[in-house]
Amino acid sequence: MNLKQMSAFREVMLTGSVSEAARNLNRTQPSISHMISGLEDELGMRLFERQRGRLHPVPEAQYLFKECTDVLNRISSVSQNMQRMKTMESGELKIVSMPGPATVILPELICQHLGTKPEVKATLLSRSSDAVQQLVGSQQFDLGIADHDPARTIEASLVSAETFFFDCICAVPAEDPLADLPVITPAELSGKPLATLFTEHRSHILTRRAFEAEGQSLNVRFVGQFFHPLLTYVEQEFACAIIDPVTAESWLSRAAQPNSIVFRPFAPAIEFGIDLLTPAYRPASLLAGSFADRLIEVFMKIGARRMGQGSSGEAVA
Amino acid sequence: MNLKQMSAFREVMLTGSVSEAARNLNRTQPSISHMISGLEDELGMRLFERQRGRLHPVPEAQYLFKECTDVLNRISSVSQNMQRMKTMESGELKIVSMPGPATVILPELICQHLGTKPEVKATLLSRSSDAVQQLVGSQQFDLGIADHDPARTIEASLVSAETFFFDCICAVPAEDPLADLPVITPAELSGKPLATLFTEHRSHILTRRAFEAEGQSLNVRFVGQFFHPLLTYVEQEFACAIIDPVTAESWLSRAAQPNSIVFRPFAPAIEFGIDLLTPAYRPASLLAGSFADRLIEVFMKIGARRMGQGSSGEAVA
DNA sequence: TATATTTATAGAAAAAATTTATGAGGTGGT
DNA sequence: ACCACCTCATAAATTTTTTCTATAAATATA
C-alpha cells in the first residue's frame, strides 16, 4: 500500500467513478484504474464489484476508506506543520538561564522574538549556572545562558559554549559628582559605599583585586545575589555599583527614571563573561538558532568580545 | 511526502545512521541517502545536520519522526485488518462473548444455527466485556456479546452496538413459600439469603439500591462471578437469586430438574443490558447476520427492549 | 442505431527508485 | 603518519513504477 494508491482509492470512493477521480487528481483514467487494481492485487481482494461498467464498493472498502482518509489527512497536516516550523510560526523555544538575565532581558527578547507567532510556545527556566549546563547537556533545552567561570569546566561532549566578555561599568547616581567623570577608577570610589554581588562571585573578587592593586579602600555596604537589585541602591543614592553592561542595558530600557543613574566605564577593566550554551551534537532548532542570533546581536551592541569554546565554535552562530 | 521516504526517515532516526538504516531496510546506502535528501528538499528544510560524517536530527525532525511512526504503524495495521476481513468472509462464524452467555446459550444457538451446514466452522471465545469490544473493533470477529455498561464508551468508529434491555427476575426454590407469589419485591426477600454477582457488578449495585430504597435488609450469602452458577444455590434451596432472564431461559431449557426453581418477576425493575457488537463498516456476513437475527429473536422472546446505538442502528439487523 | 459514456488492457514514455561506482571526510589502530 | 575501515554524498546506469496514449468492450442515452 502506498499513498498514491490510497489517494486514488479515496477519490474513487468519494466520486464513485474512476474517470471522475482521474479528473479530480489530474491523472488519466487508466492511471487510476491501474492504481485500484494494484491495490486490489496487493490486498488480495476485490474492493469494488464491477457491475455494468460501474464500480460498487464492497463493505470492506468502507473500512479502508475511513483509514485512508485518516492517514492522508494526517500526512497533509504533518506537511503543513513542518512548513510552519520551518518559518518558525510554530514550535517551541526552550531556554534555561541563570537568574540575572532571566528576570528582564530574556523575557523581553522572547517577546520580541515571538511577536506575531501565536503558535509558538516558549519555556524559560531560571537555574544556577551549574544547573544550566546540566540541563542543556541533557538535551532538554535549546539554549542556556550562564555566568562564565574559568573554574567551571565545560562538558564539551555534551554542550557547546560560546563566551561573550564584557567590561563591567560603574553605576553612579546622576546627582553624584562622579557622574561628570568620563571614566571611573578605584581611586574615585575609595571609601565610598558600594553595592556588589556576594563575596564569592567572580565580579566581586575582581573588583576587590582592582582596589587592592591600587591601594584603595573598598567599602562594600550592600551585597546582593544579582546585579539588577543593586541598581536600586544607586537610584536611591545610597551607593555606587560596578555591574555588567547587560544588566545596565536592560535597566536603561526598563526603568521608570532612566536618568537617575549614569553608567561610566570603569578602569581597570573588570571582565565579566557570559556563556551561551547549546546542546552538543544537537543542532539548534530554527527558532532557537534565530533567537540566539538576536541575543548575540544585543550582546555585541553592548560591546561584547566573542570567543568560541567547547565542542564547536559556530554552534550558536 | 511518501511512504518510502517516511520509512527511510524513520529507520534513520531509529538507527542514527543511513548505512544501518539501509541494511535494515534491505536497500543500499545511496538509496536511503537519496530518500532523505528528497524528503528534505520537499519540506524545504534540513532534517539532519551533517557533522563529522554523521547525521544529527534537528529538533523539528523529532516531530516528524513521531508522525511518521504513527502513520506507518496505522497503515500496517490496516493491511493486517484487511487480510483478516478477507478470511473472515464466508465459511466461518467468529463470535466473542462475555463469559455468561458463552457457557450455555451461545453454544446451543450455534449448534441450532449450523445444524445443516457441515462445512461451516465456528469459533466462540469467552472474554471480558472490555476485551470483547476490543476484539470486535479489530475486525477479527463477526459478533460480540458484552455486558452493557453505560460507563463504557463504545468506540463508534470501530464497532456498532445494539443494546437489549431486560428486567431481572427472581429465582426461588420451588418449595419456597415465595414461589406462590406472582411478583417478588425487596420486602419479601428482606433478610433472606441471596446469591448475587460480585459487588462491583451493575446488577448487584441496582439490587442493593432497590433494597435500600425500600428500607429492607439485603442478606448476600453467596457471591459469584456469573449468573448461572448462582442457580445451583437456588436449586439446593440455600438461597434466592435475582438474575437476568437470558440465563434463566437457558437454565430452563437445560437443567435436569427444571421444576426445582421457579422464576418470578421482581419489582422494582432491575434493568440488565446486553450489547450486541458488530465490526463497523463491515456488514455482517450472511452467516453472522442470520446468527445475530436468531439471537435477537431469543432475546425478544424473553422480553428484551431493543435500543440501537453506536455508529449505525441497523448494523446487526 | 449512433453517440456518448463507462472501465480495462496493452504498449510506449516518463518518472522515480535503486544500484554500482566513486569520492570526500572522519575514526581508530599501529 | 599511515592504513584500514568506517561514514555520507554524488553521478551515472539500471530497474521498477507510474503515467500516458491508444484502443477495445460494455453500458447508457438520445
Domain at B297, CATH number: 3.40.190.10
**Sequence-ordered list of residues with C-beta below 8 angstroms from that of A291, at least 6 positions apart, any chain:** A93, A95, A109, A110, A113, A142, A143
d(CA B179, CA A289): 84
pLDDT of residue A39: 94
Same domain, B127 and B196: no
Are the C-beta atoms of residues A209 and A164 closer than 8 Å to each other?
no
Q: How far is B43 from chain A (nearest CA, A)?
A: 7
**Sequence-ordered list of residues with C-beta below 8 angstroms from that of A41, at least 6 positions apart, any chain:** none
Same domain, A45 and A180: no
Q: What stretch of H or E contains A248?
A: helix A245-254
- Stretches where chain A sits below pLDDT 70 are 155-158, 281-282, 308-317
Whether B238 is covered by a domain: the verdict is: yes
Distance A117 CA to C25 C1' (A): 40
- A10, A128, A130, A220 from A152: Cα distances, Å: 61, 13, 8, 26
pLDDT of residue B156: 65
Strands A261-265 and A169-173: antiparallel
- Chain A residue numbers with beta carbons less than 8 Å from the beta carbon of B157 are 66
DSSP conformational letter for A275: E
Residue from B202, B242, B247 nearest B218 by CA: B242
pLDDT in tens, A146-163: 988 877 777 666 678 889
3-class secondary-structure state, position A158: coil
Write out which nucleotides of chain D lie closer than 7 A to a protein Cβ: 6-12, 18-23, 25-28
A→B interface, C-beta within 8 Å: 1-4, 43-45, 59-60, 62-64, 66-67, 70-71, 74-75, 78-79, 81-83, 85-86, 91, 142, 281-286, 288, 312
Residue from A57, A9, A60, A69 nearest B279 by CA: A60
User: SS3 letters for B80-124?
Assistant: HHHHHHHHHCCCEEEEEECHHHHHCHHHHHHHHHHCCCCCCEEEE
Check B85 against A4: CB less than 8 A apart: no
d(CA A36, CA A13): 11
Same domain, A284 and A145: yes
Whether the CA torsion A246, A247, A250, A251 is positive or negative: it is negative
Q: Which of A52, A86, A120 is the last residue of a domain?
A: A86
Whether B193 is covered by a domain: the verdict is: yes
| pTM for this entry | 0.65
Domain at B46, CATH number: 1.10.10.10
H helices of chain B, in order, are 3-15, 18-25, 29-43, 59-88, 99-103, 105-114, 129-137, 186-189, 202-213, 227-235, 245-254, 286-302
d(CA A115, CA A117): 6
Q: Which of B87, B118, B151 is the last residue of a domain?
A: B87
Whether B207 is covered by a domain: the verdict is: yes
Mean pLDDT, each 10-residue run in order, chain B (317 residues): 95 94 94 95 90 85 92 90 68 82 84 75 86 80 86 71 92 92 93 91 91 92 88 92 90 85 93 87 67 89 79 37
Are the C-beta atoms of residues B291 and B143 closer than 8 Å to each other?
yes
Same domain, B30 and B104: no
Grid cell 545511496 in the structure block, residue: B30
- Chain A residue numbers with beta carbons less than 8 Å from the beta carbon of B59 are 91, 142, 282-285, 288
Write out which nucleotides of chain C lie closer than 7 A to a protein Cβ: 5-11, 17-21, 24-27
Check B71 against A66: CB less than 8 A apart: no
Distance B54 CA to C24 C1' (A): 13
Whether B262 is covered by a domain: the verdict is: yes
Same domain, A179 and A237: yes
Least CB–CB distance from B281: residue in A2, A62, A70: A62
Same domain, A106 and A245: no
Whether B317 is covered by a domain: the verdict is: no
B→A interface, C-beta within 8 Å: 1-4, 43-46, 49, 51, 56-60, 63-64, 67, 70-71, 74-75, 78-79, 81-83, 85-86, 139, 157, 279-283
Whether B316 is covered by a domain: the verdict is: no
Q: Which of B50, B67, B87 is the last residue of a domain?
A: B87
Q: Is the CB of A259 under 7 A from strand D?
A: no
Residue from A124, A112, A123 nearest A253 by CA: A112
d(CA A87, CA A134): 30
- Chain A residue numbers with beta carbons less than 8 Å from the beta carbon of B1 are 3, 75, 78-79
Report the Cα A180 to chain-centroid distance in Å: 39
Same domain, A75 and A100: no
Whether A305 is covered by a domain: the verdict is: no
- For residue A31, give the nucleotide whose C1' atom is nearest its CA: D19
Same domain, A198 and A173: yes
Q: How far is B101 from chain A (nearest CA, A)?
A: 29
User: Please, what's the b/e burial string for A67-97 (b: 16 or more CB within 10 A of its CB; e: otherwise)?
Assistant: bbbebbeebeebeebbeebbebebbbbbbbb
Same domain, A261 and A132: no
Same domain, A234 and A285: no
Q: Which domain holds residue B112?
A: 89-163+273-310
Question: How many domains does the structure of chain A reveal?
Answer: 3
Whether B287 is covered by a domain: the verdict is: yes
Q: Is the CB of A152 under 7 A from strand D?
A: no
Are the C-beta atoms of residues B166 and B105 closer than 8 Å to each other?
no
Same domain, A109 and A191: no
Same domain, A45 and A135: no
- Chain A residue numbers with beta carbons less than 8 Å from the beta carbon of B159 are none
Distance B34 CA to D14 C1' (A): 16
Distance B145 CA to C27 C1' (A): 63
Q: How many CA atoms lie within 13 A of B115 on its CB side?
A: 5
pLDDT of residue B90: 55
* Residue B99, preceding peptide bond in cis (omega within 30° of 0): no
Report the Cα A90 to chain-centroid distance in Å: 13
- Chain A residue numbers with beta carbons less than 8 Å from the beta carbon of B57 are 282
Q: Which residue of chain A has the CA closest to B83?
A: A43
